[in-house]
Amino acid sequence: MVIISYLYIGIDDTDSPDGMCTTYLACHIIRRLKENSIDIVGYPRLIRLNPFARFKTRGNGGVSFKIFNDDKADLAKKIILDEVSALSMFDCDNTNPGVVFYDGEITEEMEDYAFRAIYSFITIEEAEKFAKSAGCEIHKFKKGRGIIGSVAAISMPLDDYTYELLAYRIPDNYGTKRRIDYESVIKMDKETFPDTFENVDYSENYIAIEPKTPCPVLYGIRANDDSILTKAQDIVKVSEPIEDYCIFLTNQHTDMHIQKADNISQMKQFGCYEVTATVKDKPHVIGGGHMFFKVYDETGEIECGAYEPTKDFREIVSHLRPGDVIRLFGGIGEQNTFNIEKFQAVKLNDVEYRNPICECGKRMSSAGKDKGFKCKKCGKRIKSSQKVSIKIERFLNNGQFYETPVSARRHLSKPLCRM
Ligand code: ATP
């Protein structure tokens, strides 16, 4: 009997805000392996980790892939380490690559570690200790912080997943305006959404497949199914050379970062949660266009924010009113504010209390504290201070979900079109 064993490879922290991208490096390495007759098994994986990680360059993503663990494994390791040494952005203080090799089964402990890397913070020392105990071979460059994400990228189970096709530019074009025909992107979106998604933000007139940084990525198309990606790629027209492209299997847009909290007191800073709570006060805008309101439950209260980049989402949030029960999805950031990614209106408060209407038809006004109401038109007074309840029309709908626009969405956030 032939026992197939794999060599898993994890790579992270090779890029800087000025350039490179760990997915590009992986794509380049995969090509170099192929030139040496070493094929990877399945798709490479792009695994997004804790969105609040302190040293992330952009979206906190690590990459992993696997090859057969045969007599070419040593050559593969050499090619990988040589390429990481040659291409990582070592000049940047915050670029501390880590490469991890692992040739066993992915254990439950490794899966638990991967979830810790998405839910909490891990130090380089912890990652190193864990990786060694799990039997990984680790390679640290400079501080080697990348091993934190590399072990997680290898170990993360993917019950839910999506795909991203990343097309890369030739180096001569790095940093220049990307020559993408926007009309063709809109055509692609019209013909392939919702199998592909996050292509265009129509409300913001924003082409979301195009990165805004000087990295090697020309565009990235995200999809539920790998089979639609070739069709989508054929529709998108560009007028610059594409050096290469690669399809990644990924946990993007799966809500994997969200933990279900039973109540507000269970939530901690720098964690991402789903929680159901009641709106306490009317949403209001504070400097810079950020919108805030508080929610509460029997265990406490927390301030929620819909920040300026969430644009029109703030208008939706502004329709919330005290007493609304909502299911929130988001994360607690630097300011200890719950950053809303989306919410569901669970039970909207459609009752409003108003002063009674006088017999003469005019709405009465208060006659003073505990003194009932008086009519300014006909002078009639009533002693009771009891307001009357009326049912009001709401802009929001019970049961409906509302989400931030594509332009402000986290890589891990599950869009409504996938729910
Ligand atoms: P890009 O998206 O362009 O690939 P990035 O945002 O992924 O860049 P990196 O350059 O990979 O940023 O840097 C993120 C760093 O944070 C890596 O060193 C990674 O190992 C580390 N890291 C990942 N998850 C955690 C975590 N949970 N706790 C602490 N560090 C983490």
Mind listing the pLDDT tens digit for each residue in 186-221? 999 999 999 999 999 998 888 999 998 889 999 999
- Is the CB of 58 within 6 Å of ligand 1? yes
Per-residue pLDDT of 328-374, as tens digits, reads 999 999 889 999 999 999 999 999 999 999 999 999 999 888 899 99
Identity of residue 163: Y
Query: Tokens 């066993």, residue?
Result: 104
CATH 3.40.50.300 matches 259-350+394-418: no
More confident residue, 316 or 205: 316
**Residue 53 in this model has a pLDDT that exceeds 90:** no
Per-residue pLDDT of 174-183, as tens digits, reads 999 999 999 9
Q: Specify the pLDDT at position 57.
A: 74
**Residue 238 in this model has a pLDDT that exceeds 90:** yes
**Residue 3 in this model has a pLDDT that exceeds 80:** no
Average pLDDT over residues 375-392: 91
More confident residue, 236 or 1: 236
- Is pTM beyond 0.85? Reply is yes
In ligand 1, the atom with minimum distance to the C-alpha of 14 is 10
Looking at every residue in the chain, the average pLDDT score rounds to 94
Residue 402: which pLDDT band, with cuts at 50, 70 and 90? Answer: very high
CATH number of 6-155: 3.30.70.2200
**Residue 253 in this model has a pLDDT that exceeds 90:** yes
Helices (H), 244-390: 313-317
**Residue 283 in this model has a pLDDT that exceeds 80:** yes
Q: Specify the pLDDT at position 282.
A: 95
- Is the CB of 15 within 6 Å of ligand 1? yes
Give me the residue spans of the domains in the chain. 6-155, 163-250, 259-350+394-418
Q: Specify the pLDDT at position 91.
A: 84
Residue 184: which pLDDT band, with cuts at 50, 70 and 90? Answer: very high
Which residues are paired to 40 by β-bridges? 67
In ligand 1, the atom with minimum distance to the C-alpha of 23 is 4
Measure 209 CA to ligand 1 centroid, in angstroms.
21
Identity of residue 56: K
Residue nearest to ligand 1 atom 27, measured at CA:
117
For ligand 1, pick from 55, 100, 136, 164 the residue to mutate: most ligand atoms within 8 Å of CB. 55
Average pLDDT over residues 263-280: 97
Measure 362 CA to ligand 1 centroid, in angstroms.
64
Strands of 23-71, DSSP E: 40-48, 61-68
Measure 61 CA to ligand 1 centroid, in angstroms.
6
- Is the CB of 341 within 6 Å of ligand 1? no
What is the helix (H) or strand (E) element at residue 248, kind and residue range? strand 242-250
* Separation between Cα atoms, residue 207 and residue 216, nearest integer Å: 17
Q: Specify the pLDDT at position 385.
A: 87
For 185, counting Cβ atoms within 10 Å of its Cβ (0-12 exposed, 13-18 middle, 19+ buried), the class is buried
Average pLDDT over residues 63-71: 96
Q: Specify the pLDDT at position 186.
A: 97
Average pLDDT over residues 17-36: 93
Average pLDDT over residues 2-13: 91
Average pLDDT over residues 398-402: 97
Residue nearest to ligand 1 atom 8, measured at CA:
57
Measure 331 CA to ligand 1 centroid, in angstroms.
17
CATH number of 163-250: 3.90.600.20
- Is the CB of 56 within 6 Å of ligand 1? yes
In ligand 1, the atom with minimum distance to the C-alpha of 63 is 4
% of residues, the chain, pLDDT over 90: 85
Residue nearest to ligand 1 atom 7, measured at CA:
60
Q: Specify the pLDDT at position 59.
A: 86
Measure 13 CA to ligand 1 centroid, in angstroms.
6
For residue 194, say if its preceding peptide bond is cis, omega within 30 degrees of 0.
yes
Q: Specify the pLDDT at position 370.
A: 87
